[in-house]
Amino acid sequence: MHMPSLPEMLFGDNVLRIQHTDSFGIQFNAIDALKCVNNLQDSVKVACAQEWQETRADSEHSKEVVKRYDWTYTTDYKGTLLGDNLKFKVTTTDDRIDMEKLKAREQIMFFEDVLLFEDELHDHGVSMVSVKIRVMPTSFFVLMRFFLRVDGVLIRTNDTRLYHETGTNYMLREFSTRESKIANLQNVPPAFYTDPNEIQQYLPIKLLQCEKLEFPDKESDSEMTEPERT
């Protein structure tokens, strides 16, 4: 990473890892999420961006010229694939995660909410990434969400959803981007602006990618191990 500044709260030791006994799998961590930030340009042009950069120019980078980069830390990170000889085979698909099935009442055997990083953008909003996992007897579901609110300017979410059902040899992964200018949300209660779960339904979809992560053929009939949170 070549960033003039990192998020105020960076939880570099937080990792959500889902790994097969044969070592292939997927994990979510802050460092890899930040590596997917475009550090060549600042994507949101607002007056506070310059002020925000100037306040940090006297930090450990005081002797360097403040570089242009995405000061909102917007990332399209979808997870890090694990494995040397064996890895998931990733292909595009028309299959979708059955969200209605996930609404069914089923025992939750394991749940965790892991914060990867957060920054208040010099009191001009918030930029954060968190990842949640829910394990049921017949499946598990992961939601990693990048949430951005630049006060008076825009709200954006980048969501990665991951779903595996017992008895199948693949996981479904959906990546979506939703975004709206604050000016287009005048009919939405302002209290929703700070709640990613509430505001998401009012944000139009800008991008949707659906992928199938297939187990390596050698182990296609094996089961995934218990998710690990470190």
Segment 146-199, tens digit of pLDDT: 999 999 999 999 999 999 999 999 999 999 999 999 999 999 999 999 999 999
Query: What gap in Å lies between CA 53 and CA 153, rounded to an integer?
Result: 18
Segment 6-37, tens digit of pLDDT: 999 999 999 999 999 888 999 999 999 999 99
pTM, entire model: 0.84
Segment 44-57, tens digit of pLDDT: 655 455 555 555 55
Query: What gap in Å lies between CA 166 and CA 178, rounded to an integer?
Result: 30
